[in-house]
Chains A and B, each alone.
Chain A
């Protein structure tokens, strides 16, 4: 199809991710399928096979191998794209830790899916959260448009001379990966102006430039030097995000901030959410506002580096905040919650109440009644949380299932 004009077409989340790679002119895609991202690599496979995309598509034998190939390809001077989910992400997690330290740029998409055990297919965020400490940059997409845009922006951020780190773009499995939404495909020429061909700022492997990369480092001080350097690079990604987002907005008309405030004006209650269920949160905010409840929502887009300043600025001055985590660290609660609290701790006018809420595990729907329950619990001074969005009815349904087995 003709991409020389702005065209709005219906795309699933997966197709939007594939289009992002195509428009970015990714040259190398090492791939391995896993539900619910498989459609991404199948689409790219066809495009490379029929010559639509130029470069190479290689089927790898596991995600551990795939991430190794991706980073090694980037270290050898080509623009790389790959995708995974859930079990695949954690299977390759050793390599993700390894290759972020290589300081090479590439973009990977994670289509979120809850982790075994129990084994399942539907989404939650434990998989992407497992990567939060490995040193890559993380963007979370709510819509199919955001997916496409974040992949394009992701290459600019990753390849920034002060960053040189992989960028992960997250999208929810099933709810977004297989759901079609209208997506504006930017003009080819405009993309070429925004995202020129990959020009590595690091030396890349070639005969004229012998080098040793990623050798052993001994001595705690020496190791720590590299990790502090890594941290500084990750922090630079925040500045890079802002700069790139500003240029992206100027060229394409969509301006992205690290966080998205939704109806925070005079909000007494704020939901903090990310990814596709933020759409449900916004709908709940609208319904609550219609009922006279001053609710609002703060959506996280940039997750690593954590946008602490933006979070603090958005949430201070609001009385009650619920952090809705679609993930769980058993024994403590939601994973985003402590990061939000840490960002707020020293602020003078921080919220009086910050509640940890856990919902949507294994793709469980979060309904309007759940948001009402959150509001109700925010109003109870004695309730400490975490609040699990799992009620009597859910338990009854489970017991019914259990009785079939017994």
Chain B
């Protein structure tokens, strides 16, 4: 594509149009939905959203769709190869003379459950093939739609329904969060970025950049989750700000072979400020404060940023 990317400088520059109508049954305060809403404003109407099983499957419940564009629900593990099929078919039709105006941008929308776990294999193959598509992962660090069970994205020290905190397993989740950014980066996609619903300019500029490119363009969106993480929906964006300010959720992009941090917290807020406000980390504070476990979380974050400081 020869288009140069739009650059958004102020909030006022953003598209005022809503491309996702309100009224879906998604949770109040869903950070992922806010991220998708912002992304759609950049991408426009000519988008086919290809969905995997997860919270966002509930965006379209017969007979309703909130999208101006198109939607295809697939399975939990195969939204990406389905996108491959659409892309291949549209390319064939373009070659046979279909008008360019009829072409669609393909966007896979999947949660961390599909993305980090069941769908990872098929995604790996598609990125390797160089599929021209956008991938939007809303990461709420658990299998949310089924009631918040453990996923490969669940961070150390978080409690989920299938890895609860007990005396024998005080941390709850005893493994570190899978580093999907690194896994995807090893595939050398055309573009890769993390985004936050609380950083609309950062998010919008990243999507604008991606919109002007071809090939696999992959996004991990922080999906603050009142229902799964245990906080009041009204605090969703506060939680998102804390995730970034503590350094727990790095805002970065991979482009032209290099990783660039697009927002770097100058003085990181202690992770405790993020953890103490969520029920999924409550066991780190009650009945007794687990300073050792909190320290481990802090240490992970410090080690990450230590590489870039």
Contact = CB atoms under 8 A, between A and B. Distances in A.
Contacts of A62: 121-122
Interface stretch (B26-34, B101-109, B155-163, B285-293): B101-109
Contacts of B68: 210
Given A207-B101, A210-B70, A28 B88 contact: yes
A61 B88 contact: no
B89 A215 contact: no
Contact of A214 (B64, B72, B98): B72
A69 B102 contact: no
A289 interface: no
A28 B60 contact: no
B78 interface: yes
Nearest to B88: A56
A73 B93 CA distance: 11
A95 B75 contact: yes
Given A28-B92, A68-B78, A216-B62, A211 B70 contact: yes
B36 interface: no
B194 interface: no
Given A98-B74, A216-B61, A76 B90 contact: yes
Interface residues of B, number: 46
A213 interface: yes
Interface stretch (B79-87, B173-181, B233-241): B79-87
Contacts of B58: 216
B125 interface: yes
Contact of B72 (A64, A69, A75): A75
Contacts of A211: 70-71
A206 to B, nearest CB: 4
Interface residues of A, number: 43
Given A55-B92, A205-B70, A205-B90, A65 B60 contact: no
Contact of B67 (A64, A71, A75, A210): A210
B86 A65 contact: no
Contact of B91 (A56, A61, A71, A217): A56
A59 B121 CA distance: 14
A385 B13 CA distance: 77
A43 B57 CA distance: 39
A30 B126 CA distance: 13
Given A61-B122, A77-B93, A205-B86, A68 B60 contact: no
B78 A73 contact: no
Nearest to B93: A77
A68 B101 CA distance: 25
B72 A205 contact: yes
A66 B121 CA distance: 13
Contacts of A349: none
B82 A71 contact: yes
Contacts of B103: 206-207
Given A78-B92, A212-B70, A215-B60, A69 B85 contact: yes
A306 B173 CA distance: 51
A217 B62 contact: yes
A70 interface: yes
B45 interface: yes
A98 B75 contact: yes
A224 to B, nearest CB: 13
Contacts of A397: none
Contacts of A73: 85-86, 88-89
Contact of B125 (A61, A205, A208): A61
A197 to B, nearest CB: 9
Given A72-B85, A208-B102, A64 B45 contact: no
Interface string A7-20: 00000000000000
A206 B99 CA distance: 10
29 contacts: A27-B92, A28-B88, A30-B84, A64-B77, A65-B84, A68-B78, A69-B81, A69-B82, A69-B85, A69-B88, A70-B85, A73-B85, A73-B86, A75-B85, A76-B93, A80-B85, A205-B70, A206-B93, A207-B102, A210-B69, A212-B71, A212-B72, A213-B72, A214-B74, A215-B62, A216-B57, A216-B73, A217-B62, A218-B62
Interface of B: 45-46, 48, 50, 57-58, 60-62, 64-65, 67-75, 77-78, 80-86, 88-93, 98, 101-104, 121-122, 124-126, 129
